[in-house]
Amino acid sequence: MSKIAIIDYLVDQGMLYGKKIEVIDLCGAGGLGAGLLSHGTLCAMALDHCASDYELVNIAIFKGSGGKMFTDIKLLAKALEACIDIGAEVVSLSAVSTILSDSRHIYGITKELSERAAIVGALDNGQCVTVPSSYPHVIGAQSDRAGLLPPGGLAYMAGEPSGAHVFANCSFDFLREHGRGPSNSFAAPVVAAWANGLINSGVQARDVLAHLGSLPPYTAAAEGEAVFMSPEDLARELPVVLLLGASIGDCAQIMDALYERHGYQSSALSLTDGGYDVRIMRVGSAEGIEEGLRLTGKRYKTDLIFVIAPESLAGGIRGAAPIDITATWRGGVAHLEYEGVRETVPIHGLPDRIVGLLQG
């Protein structure tokens, strides 16, 4: 019998046929009003529909019953720490973030937790890269929106561009009875139930991730991008900043400052591995920049894209992709080029100057 933690709103155990639930209330949720059916309860119902022989721990980090999820990312980190403390073997997580700068608060704790538990994270319903769901040590889950699987069915797509490789059909009658259709949130507990079954069969929780390849392939959807996006998504254009002579760490600091000072979300392409930072996509060569920009524009909630490259490749990159601003990093200053203008700014002022140029 594995221990499963649902991090969400409070769960009403009365809706689970009286199943005993351990509750850890991290947000002072208190309780549900009469007749309210929480998002957490619906997730628990989906889990219970697909799983057997498990203990349930409900870690509440949201008040109320549902609606748009929003919480302090540090509260989510605290909930993940609690999962370690209670010995959770499966974590079902619909409380996720497309603010990719949030990684610095939760990457380390999810990595530690993944050494002892199977973490299942829902992809954002906009199909964008999501933390922690898009981390390689987390099982990213999304709904079978194309209806290719039977209810409760799972399939795996290697190389899924958002990092959510597992598709689950969560089109259940009991959800429709409560006015709720399939969503990535409800896909996560279906995948968590599969993880629970593996653990009950003798698989170590930390090894569940290695069994994804045993799922049937989700290949039909891969034949056409229309399953994932609309024509409007394909036409999306974003400003591009070519960052020459800077390291990945330098770029990450600029991206953090852009979000902290101005609320700008940014992502980056690099010829080298970005490590833990999911904002940074690795492209194999300068020739891959154009395709990288296309994928980033579709898959990231981002306001601008950096391209990190050595000065020696500047000409090739400019020829392959539209560049709005070039910033050459030398010592403590950045030399800017844009629309035929050249200027120099101190590194600490670069985020503010970029925003000023983009806002015109």
Q: What is the pLDDT of residue 190?
A: 98
141 lies in the same domain as 8: yes
pLDDT in tens, 179-214: 888 999 999 999 999 999 999 999 999 999 999 999
Q: Which of 58, 116, 118 is nearest to 84 (CA)?
A: 116
Q: Based on the domain organization, do 68 and 148 belong to the same domain?
A: yes
**Same domain for 197 and 262?**
no
pLDDT greater than 70 at residue 241: yes
Residues 87 and 164 in one domain: yes
Looking at the fold, whether 221 and 256 belong to one and the same domain comes out as no
- Mean pLDDT across 130-145: 95
Asked which of 42-51, 161-170, 231-240 is least confident by mean pLDDT, the reply is: 231-240
pTM attached to this predicted model: 0.86
pLDDT score, position 232: 42
Which residue, 142, 194, 134, 129, is CA-closest to 170? Answer: 142
Task: Answer with the one of 185, 205, 227 that is the final residue of a domain.
Answer: 227
Q: Cα torsion for 182, 162, 234, 125, to the nearest 10°?
A: 30
Which of 25-34, 107-116, 125-134 is predicted with the least confidence, judged by mean pLDDT? 25-34
* Shared domain check, 193 and 49: yes
Q: Is the dihedral of CA 223, 226, 232, 233 positive or negative?
A: negative
**Are both 213 and 271 inside the same structural domain?**
no
The residue to which tokens 């973490």 are assigned? 119
The pLDDT value recorded for residue 26 is: 93
Q: Are residues 241 and 142 in the same domain?
A: no
Residues paired with residue 92 on neighbouring β-strands, in sequence order = 6, 120
Q: Which residues of 19-38 are buried (b: 16+ CB within 10 A; e: fewer)?
A: eebeebebbebeebeeeebb
pLDDT value of position 234: 38
Domain boundary among 201, 227, 253: 227
Give 279-336 pLDDT, tens digit per residue: 898 887 777 888 888 888 888 889 999 999 999 989 888 888 889 999 999 988 999 9
- Please tell me whether residues 171 and 311 are part of one structural domain: no
Residue 67: the pLDDT is 57
Q: For 74-84, how does the pLDDT look when each residue is reduced to its tens digit (9 = 90+)?
A: 999 999 999 99
Q: Which domain holds residue 64?
A: 2-227
Q: Could you identify the residue written with the tokens 């904002």?
A: 279
219/341 same-domain check: no
**Domains in the chain: how many in total?**
2
Domain boundary among 169, 192, 227: 227
Whole-number pLDDT of residue 299: 84
Locate all alpha helices (DSSP H) within 201-327, ordered by sequence: 231-234, 248-262, 289-299, 314-320
Q: Is residue 243 located within the same domain as residue 298?
A: yes
Radius of gyration of the chain (CA): 22
My answer on whether 126 and 258 are in the same domain is: no
Q: How far apart, in whole angstroms, are the C-alpha atoms of residue 166 and residue 168?
A: 7
Predicted pLDDT at 53: 95
Domain with 314 in it: what CATH number? Answer: 3.40.50
What is the pLDDT, as a whole number, of residue 161? 84
For residues 163-186, give the mean pLDDT: 93
Label residue 343 exposed, middle or buried (CB < 10 Å: 0-12, 13-18, 19+): exposed
Q: Reply yes or no: is the peptide bond before residue 132 cis, omega within 30 of 0.
A: yes
The tens digit of pLDDT for each residue in 60-70 reads 998 866 655 55
Chain segment 218-236, per-residue pLDDT in tens: 975 444 443 444 434 433 5
CATH of the domain at 80: 3.40.50.200
User: How many residues can be counted in the chain?
Assistant: 360
Between 50 and 295, the more confident residue is: 50
As a whole-number percent, the residues of the chain with pLDDT over 70 amount to: 91
Query: pLDDT (tens digit, 9 = 90+) per residue, 77-106?
Result: 999 999 999 999 999 999 899 888 888 899
Mean pLDDT (the chain, rounded): 89
